[in-house]
Amino acid sequence: MQQPESGRARIDIVQRFAVERQSVRGQFVRLGPAWLALREHGDYPEPVRRMLGEAVTAAVLLASTLKFEGELTLQLQGDGAVRLLVAQCTHDFRIRAVARFDRERVEASMRPAVLADPFAVLAGAGTLVVTVEADRRASRYQGVVPISGGSLAASLEHYFENSEQLPTAVVLGADDFGTAGLLVQRMPDHGGVVTASIDTANQTFAAARAAIGSVQRDELLARPPEDLMRRAFSGLDLRVHDSHPIGFRCRCSRERVSGMLRSLGLEEVRSIIAEQQSVTVTCEFCHRPWRFDPVDALRLFGAAVDQVPGSTTLN
Ligand SMILES: [Zn+2]
């Protein structure tokens, strides 16, 4: 197995920070082992891997800006070579992600000119959808913006400005060994700790945006977060919060798969049993197979255990 270049920290963390006495805050995310675990069973071509890595990093950045208990889903849907990309992050930073793509179109697009900046070809024209679902309440938030600006980072900035009215600067990067993302936001001016003037905070944000805009992908992936923050906020006091670990953990369960089979309907499930003698649903995220024998599968519909496929009446 290939090894990452030396100096790369093999960690999975999200870290929040804020500029002292100003309405400017940010988040830094770096994924290493969790990124490798997440795509262990996925066979993704290089440009799709990069897009997937950036998307799951973006999902963590989004989740870390919110107070919620549940799951945040970032979804890219477009007419490009990647038809659908889903990246999820829970409030306690458990991540998973999957992409559906057209392999021929991805391979056709792997020319040097495109590889330097593959996002437009991979994503095409489409939408970025952010959904937040609460665990215990039936509440759901959804924001939709067009994919724009030729990158996922630019689309995310657009999302924040549009859906939350927060000027935001984002930089994202991913390779085979890790991913990283840095987000800086100009927050509304209220609260007791803000003493700097609005103009000062605006200038701080503008300078940070320019500074992180000049960060190269290799630097983003390899340099310690403190270096990048110091570059973005030179000469300013930063309040850096404790980092929080991130882990790959799939949320699939027998219960969730049961719900999915119920929504398919009894007739469909019976026809699968007739064809394959059982029902196996493989999780798209972690590739775990969930197998239901005919008895288990029919029981999901409250059907009697002795009603085998081929029988005609069910009440
Ligand atoms: Zn799973």
User: What is the rounded average pLDDT of the residues 22-51?
Assistant: 93
Residue 84 has pLDDT above 90, yes or no: yes
Give pLDDT tens digits for 272-310.
999 999 999 999 898 889 999 999 999 999 865 454 444
Asked if 241 contacts 17 with a C-beta cutoff of 8 angstroms, the reply is yes
Asked if 102 contacts 83 with a C-beta cutoff of 8 angstroms, the reply is yes
Distance in Å from the first CA to the final CA of the chain: 56
Residue 145 pairs in a beta bridge with 128
Asked if 89 contacts 60 with a C-beta cutoff of 8 angstroms, the reply is yes
For 55-64, 104-113, 144-153, which range has the lowest pLDDT when averaged over its residues?
A: 104-113
**What values do phi and psi take at 66, rounded to 5?**
-115, 155
pTM of structure:
0.87
Centroid of ligand 1 to alpha carbon of 253 (angstroms): 7
Centroid of ligand 1 to alpha carbon of 165 (angstroms): 35
Centroid of ligand 1 to alpha carbon of 84 (angstroms): 17
Centroid of ligand 1 to alpha carbon of 14 (angstroms): 23
Centroid of ligand 1 to alpha carbon of 5 (angstroms): 30
Centroid of ligand 1 to alpha carbon of 281 (angstroms): 10
Domains of the chain: 13-248 (3.55.30.10), 254-299 (3.90.1280.10)
Tell me, what's the pLDDT at 309?
47
Give pLDDT tens digits for 202-245.
999 999 999 999 999 899 999 988 889 888 998 899 999 999 99
Centroid of ligand 1 to alpha carbon of 257 (angstroms): 10
Centroid of ligand 1 to alpha carbon of 284 (angstroms): 6
Tell me, what's the pLDDT at 310?
42
Q: Express as a percent the part of the chain with pLDDT over 90.
A: 70
